[in-house]
Amino acid sequence: ISQSAQAMSNDFYTRRYRADWNDYKAPRTYLITMTKAPGVQDFGALRGSPLIPYGSHGCAYIYNSPLGNRIKDAIWDIPSLCPAFKVHKYQIMPDHIHVVWQVTAHLNEHLGCYIGRFKSRFKYVFAETYDDSILTADRRLDVMIRYVE
C-alpha cells in the first residue's frame, strides 16, 4: 500500500465521528462497537429464551457461527496488536460486536489505526466505521462491562 493510501486510511479511522476532546493515544478505556458490513453472514444466532433469567438453564445466548468464532479468537488476540491493550469483556452479537478495550499506556498512533488493523484481519466483514464510548470520570467500568454481558 502506498504511503498516501495508508495516510488516507489512517485519516478515515482516526478523524471520522471521534470525540474532538479526547486524546486517542492516551491511556483510557473504551466500549468499541463494530457492525458487520451489508451482505455479510451473521456472526452468530440467538438461542434459548429471553424470558428465562440470565445465567439460568435455557436462558438466551448467542451461538457463534464459524465467522463469529474467528472474530472471538481475534478479539483475544487484540493485545498482540500492541502490548498496551487489554480486553476486559466482549460480546459477539449476530450483526455487531462490543469490546471493552483498555489502553494501558500511551500509544504511538491513534487508537483508530489499531482498530483498522483489527478489522483488516476480516476483509469486507465489518462496516467502515466503528463507534466508541469513552470511559470518563462520571462513568464506571463495571457498568460498561455489565452492558456488554
Q: How many CB atoms lie within 10 A of CB 99?
A: 23
Mean pLDDT to the nearest integer, 58-78 = 95
Q: What is the mean pLDDT of residues 17-26?
A: 86
The answer, yes or no, to whether residue 20 has pLDDT greater than 60, is: yes
Q: Determine the pLDDT at residue 16.
A: 55
Separation between Cα atoms, residue 84 and residue 86, nearest integer Å: 7
Average pLDDT of span 49-72: 94
User: Which one, of 118, 114, 143, lies nearest residue 24 by Cα?
Assistant: 114
Q: What's this model's pTM, rounded to 2 decimal places? A: 0.82
**pLDDT tens-digit map of 78-122:** 999 899 999 999 999 999 999 999 999 999 999 999 999 999 999
